[in-house]
Structure 1
Amino acid sequence: MPRQRSRAAVTLPKGVHRVVSRGREYFYFQPGRGTDHAGERIPLPNDPHAPEFWNAIRQAQGMMGAVPVDTIGAVLDGYLEFIKSSGQITAGTIDQYQRSLKLARTAWGNLPAKGLRPVHVQAVMDGLAATPGKANNFLSAMRALSTWARVRDHIDHSLTEGVKPYGKESGHKPWTPEQIEAALQHLTGMIRRGVILYMYTGMRGSDAVRLGWTDVDDGGFALTTLKRKRDVWCPIVPELAAEMASWEKRPGPFLYQQGGRADGHRFTRKMFSTHFAEARDKVPALKGVTLHGLRCTAVIRLRRAGLSTGQIGDIVGMSLPMIERYCRFADRKTSGQAALLTLRRTSEEQNCKTPQNSKT
């Protein structure tokens, strides 16, 4: 039986009670419990670490509308409930923010919200120096939290002003032709199909796993991106069309699980990434490659085909600065190769000017 992880103790507000019955934990709100003036017993969600738990308490207390938020924990509860109900943030981003903001809850949960300063955020960043990716995710979540809390007067100033993210030594690298060839030869089934979709569409994983036959429109894929809510039309290039010719025409997305109890069920982005990583690790030639690297590969391919950054953005749903970032190495390499051809041609022309040719 797997061992359950212990969770940090939570200080319950007045009127909230915890009951353990038959090995299960229950919470309810009842002011004046055990007195002649006991109020109504109102059940609460069973996870005191969840934002819904604290919102249920506020509702039970009759504090609807403007709710006083004075601690870091209360601000976090309000923000997480906001992003979950807004419908503007993807589930993957919400999950990332929740994991990152646990650090804030652990460090300052019961402290006054208006006492938090950028110096405190910087202290956490310094403590995460050994894991810069985790530190940068924490900073991104704190920036979003700060923006939301500032305009609602939960805090007096920015919580992240002057706090800088750690520099990235290298981002996701595009795949080499050798790595692409190895993937097409050694990967099979839905993993190979997914690599092909990523490579020839350049879409984010959250969009690639949603693609299906119903998205085909006049020789391309027409859809609204999940993250940016941007309408894109991605042409189906001949290489991808040749692969799709052998795919079964069935309802749902192109990528689905095969075998086992989940047979036929759709992949989530995270699940497909996990399955891909397991298959990748069995192919030595694919060591270190990432699915997001195929997004870089697709952008570079479109750039080398002569498309502008604006055209590429319309196809893959990517911002222009990000396209330019992905293409920076390819553009430099192409420019360098063109310069090399010019130098060789100049050198050959100079070598042709022999004394005999000069007299002629």
Structure 2
Amino acid sequence: MSKVSLPPHVHKVTSGGREYFYYQEGRGTPHAGERIRLPNDPQTPEFWHAVRQAQGTFGPTPTGTIGALIDAYEVAWPTLQRKLSEGTQDQYRRYLRPIRAAWENLPASEIRPKHVDALIRKIGMETPGAANNTLDAFKAMCAWANGPVELMIHDPTKGVHRFAKGEGHPPWTPEQLAFAEENFTGVLRRWYFLSRYTGQRISDAVRLGPNDEDDGGFSLPQKKTGVRPWCPIFPELEAEMATWERRPGPYLLQEEGKSKGKPFGPNQMWKVFNKERKKHPILEGAVPHGLRANAVIRLRFAGYTAEQISDMVGMSVEMVEHYCRYADRKASGQEVLREFRERQEAKIVKPLKNGKGK
């Protein structure tokens, strides 16, 4: 059996070549609780319902509930042939919570597309992005449950549609970029340059360090997707990096408080930026992810293809094209304007019979 993460107070005993699982609080201490035998397969809903009952969940807990399926799906992640990155696992856990909250103890066999559609529409009234993520996570779980594990025999997400994509996080305006470049200092400035010129998410920018440099670029598996782009270190970023201390670990370390000298987490870096943003009205509307859009658009204006940008930034070709729609439209419009002016000039300067203009 593939290795799985067991919950607190659950331990495994191997005897005679077979694995047995037990729940016991305070095991090995003078205050050890009752030892409760659990089902043998931690990848089944029955196992996780037995754990919840041992933890003190009272009343009948049917094994075919949505909550049981979510538990079984999460514990099966390490065994999947197509591995889920840690970032994807975190996202699925987060967006399966609304599903669990709505239907945890309901039999999975009773959930129909109309129920899923109603829930997704309800979430989408306020946050379409969260609704789409919830639907994606639930679709992934149902696809797994309808596969070889055969824990479901129907797909309650069939025919349920995602909300249309919005424009995404807007890129920073030229004024916002100029302000940041002129006024950001310390760790905030280092984060800004890393984000703007590599196009990495905040969760990856905070992890970049000298050990990730690779022959003129950065190479680091992305936390969310596991994709390993190769990000060129452009001259603007290279000039900034020349002033940074080179040492093991990430470039971004906390500068104050009890955690001084420790690496940043994404949320901590967000808080540092947000604190600065509140001080300056010019930064209103700017978000860290917008710098990802700036990086992509900058590369598009430089003439790189969507495939090349995808390799450099670690973004899907589809998303590259999504972010670059405005840039492409502007470039097309400018080309039309250039041709129009050339035609106008050609009409004004009419050639004479001797080949000279008037």
For the criterion TM > 0.5, the same-fold answer is: yes
Q: 1:54 to 1:71 in 2, by over 3 A?
A: same
**In structure 1, C-alpha distance between the alignment counterparts of 2:271 and 2:143, rounded to whole Å:** 33
Question: Unaligned 5+ residue runs, structure 2?
Answer: 1-22, 26-32, 39-44, 55-61
Structure 2 residue aligned with 1:77 = 71
Deviations 1:211-269 (A, max 9, x none): 10111122211233333333322211111011001101121001111111101111122
Q: How does 1:140-151 map to 2 (within 5 A)?
A: 140-151=136-147
CA contact (8 A) 2:350 2:357 kept: no
**In structure 2, C-alpha distance between the alignment counterparts of 1:311 and 1:130, rounded to whole Å:** 36
Q: 1:85 to 1:206 in 2, by over 3 A?
A: farther
Identity of aligned residues (%): 48
Q: How does 1:1-360 map to 2 (within 5 A)?
A: 41-42=35-36, 54=48, 57=51, 69-83=63-77, 88-128=83-123, 129-151=125-147, 152-353=149-350
Taking structure 1 as the reference length, what is the TM-score of the superposition?
Answer: 0.78
**In structure 2, C-alpha distance between the alignment counterparts of 1:231 and 1:91, rounded to whole Å:** 14
* SS at structure 2 position matched to 1:180: helix
Q: 1:92 to 1:274 in 2, by over 3 A?
A: farther
Question: Unaligned 5+ residue runs, structure 1?
Answer: 1-26, 30-38, 45-50, 61-67
**In structure 2, C-alpha distance between the alignment counterparts of 1:290 and 1:324, rounded to whole Å:** 20
* SS at structure 1 position matched to 2:289: helix
Shift of residue 153, structure 1, vs aligned partner: 1.5
Deviations 1:175-212 (A, max 9, x none): 22211001122322211211110100112222212110
How many residue pairs align between the two structures?
Answer: 312
Shift of residue 150, structure 1, vs aligned partner: 1.3
Structure 2 residue aligned with 1:13 = none
Q: 1:231 to 1:94 in 2, by over 3 A?
A: closer
**In structure 2, C-alpha distance between the alignment counterparts of 1:289 and 1:84, rounded to whole Å:** 37
CA contact (8 A) 2:24 2:34 kept: no
Shift of residue 338, structure 1, vs aligned partner: 1.2
* SS at structure 2 position matched to 1:234: strand
Shift of residue 275, structure 1, vs aligned partner: 2.2
CA contact (8 A) 1:113 1:154 kept: no
* SS at structure 2 position matched to 1:137: helix
Deviations 1:42-64 (A, max 9, x none): 499xxxxxx9x93772998xxxx
Shift of residue 354, structure 1, vs aligned partner: 8.8
Q: 1:95 to 1:226 in 2, by over 3 A?
A: closer
Q: 1:102 to 1:126 in 2, by over 3 A?
A: same
> What amino acid is aligned across from residue 163 of structure 1 in structure 2?
V
Structure 2 residue aligned with 1:36 = none
CA contact (8 A) 1:114 1:154 kept: no
**In structure 1, C-alpha distance between the alignment counterparts of 2:101 and 2:186, rounded to whole Å:** 43
CA contact (8 A) 2:88 2:225 kept: no
> What amino acid is aligned across from residue 178 of structure 1 in structure 2?
E
Taking structure 2 as the reference length, what is the TM-score of the superposition?
Answer: 0.78
